[in-house]
Structure 1
């Protein structure tokens, strides 16, 4: 019998192109992912990967299986949730910690979906930055589920006893004042933006450190005219012509007129969004809620481009 956990891992391996990348997304080791894929091959009797010393490539069978795996997983989770509601008509309380961008753009969309009303979750919400939210999980009593983000390999840390699930990426984009006369489709290298006025994160934070290193690697040396950790304030100042800014796509959903969103190939950075929870809290209802988050984030992220 095929293990649904192995199917979920297969989807990530094929999507991301390596065992190591899938392991990072799912919170496993690369060895554990390899073992899961070997077990899936034994269970199905099908070779899923062409393996070499330097790479793994999915076979045609793996690609076909992946196309159907997402629907199968969703159906399994829906059945589990239905079974839970059959035996327990009461709702499940879920104490949720969530960071502001997700609370502003993603959570309200979910609460308006018909699928939300069928979940039977009694939600309690706390909006805070990831470091504060994780503290609520560390104390073991304030929160059941935390939605957090990590920029690069920043200093954010959480207890190893928590279950971690990647739910999506919120990519950063370069935003310029429209008054500068640079078109959205302009081909521009990072070093062309050097010495221009910039609105940047306050120094000393983990996010700022990652961005500073990225800029330095691109030979981009900004002339700082403002410090702001509020992306909406950064967007408004950029629209007024004060300077350029690096802003995640979620915040761009409400970008003001007067800004240009630019694609700079060397500047590739994202807020990796994770769901953290205690294993005993991971019911079918909670998993369906997390899946709704991932689906909604993916759909909204494409609109911010």
Structure 2
């Protein structure tokens, strides 16, 4: 079998024009270079150089072999570099960003992992737009779990890899004292209710505006809250009704009724964005667990 070091020696001899010059560049003796070329000739059964007292001249076969050898050696170097990068990344720390109402899902998965599996995982909690801004060139986050409603509100570099996780449906959340009077929760029954809204300009506020506009509802705003846990507490206190996605409904008190109304028909798509070359086995395993 041909050895890569012999092919490299052949290429250097042809480029530099002598065994001595190739030996000097490669850190061999001239005798060692001569022996490597002789080994190649013996293995291939062809003459690679015409030798004289003062020069060595490559044959046509040597030049053809050198062209192929350069390709092989380049591919081998790339292969080694890729394997080494995977090895480095497999044990490296990675930085995951998640939006706030996904935290309970993440912590549930982390609790089920062994301590050694959790080692090296850093987490940042922020809104989707903030996470995406930290995924760009020079950003410190390797992957981010974000959400989008329809095609509005977010944009990201095309180089980022995208993995779908779930559709997160919105529900109508009501104080329990109101629920019996409002069932079966038709849109027109909710027109005059006080509502808890997100602050104008936020991504969720634009979702709510679209829903209310579609059903010609003009909500009477009873309060603003961008944190769904705060929203749920306000609903339970009887301040107002709210639109809340499933992920933010993993736990709520007895003073709340969650109505899954068909006419609402609104959800947000939850997905992961991953920076190029950061898809290590550890990160992909965690993302698969989160999707489940």
Checking the alignment, whether the CA contact within 8 Å between 2:179 and 2:257 is kept in structure 1 is no
Name the SS of the counterpart of 2:134 in structure 1. Answer: helix
Alignment match of 1:245 (pick from 221, 231, 242): 242
Judge conservation of contact 1:152–1:210 (CA < 8 Å) in 2: no
1:210 and 2:207 matched: yes
* Cα pair distance change 1:243/1:141, threshold 3 Å: closer
| Shift in CA distance, 198/91, structure 1 to aligned 2, threshold 3 Å | same
CA shift for structure 1 position 283? 2.5
What is the aligned counterpart of 1:161 among 134, 159, 163?
159
Where do 5+ consecutive residues of structure 1 fail to align?
A: 1-83, 296-305
Asked whether 1:107 is paired with 2:106, we answer yes
Q: Secondary structure at the match of 1:92?
A: coil
- Please state how far the C-alpha of 1:117 moved relative to its aligned partner: 5.6
RMSD: 2.6
Partner of 1:275: 272
Q: Report what 2:94 is aligned to.
A: 94
Deviation (angstroms), 1:181: 4.1
Shift of 1:141: 3.6
C-alpha change, 1:222 and 1:283, in structure 2 (3 Å) is same
Tell me the alpha carbon deviations over residues 51-108 of structure 1, each in whole angstroms, 9 at most, x when there is no partner: xxxxxxxxxxxxxxxxxxxxxxxxxxxxxxxxx9xx78972321111112212x1111
Deviation (angstroms), 1:170: 2.0
Name stretches of at least 5 consecutive residues in structure 2 with no aligned partner.
1-83
The answer to whether the 8 Å contact 2:89/2:280 transfers is: no
| Partner in structure 2 of residue 173 of structure 1 | 171
Q: Distance in 1 between matches of 2:166 and 2:88?
A: 31
Counterpart CA distance in 1 for 2:105 and 2:281 is: 20
For the pair 1:134 / 2:132, whether they are aligned, the reply is yes
| 1:163/1:276 contact within 8 Å kept | yes
Name the count of aligned residue pairs. 209
Question: Residues 96 and 146 of structure 1 are in contact (CA less than 8 Å); yes or no, is this contact kept in structure 2?
Answer: yes
Cα displacement (A) at 1:204: 2.2
Tell me, in whole angstroms, the C-alpha distance in 1 between the residues paired with 2:186 and 2:229: 25
Residue number among 225, 229, 232 corresponding to 1:228 in the alignment: 225
Runs of 4+ in 1 over 4 A off after TM superposition: 87-90, 116-121
- Larger Rg: 1 or 2? 2
TM-score (norm 2): 0.65
Q: Tell me if the contact between 2:195 and 2:222 (Cα under 8 Å) persists in the aligned partners.
A: yes
Give, in whole Å, the separation in 2 of the partners of 1:196 and 1:214.
15
Q: Cα deviations across residues 191-223 of structure 1 (Å, max 9, x unaligned)?
A: 210111111111222321222122221232211
Say whether the 8 Å CA contact 1:177–1:258 is kept in structure 2.
yes
Contact 1:120 1:285 in 2 (8 A): no
Contact 2:173 2:259 survives alignment (8 Å): yes
Cα gap change, 1:195 to 1:284, in 2 (>3 Å): same
| Equivalent residues of 1:167, 1:273 under 8 A apart | yes
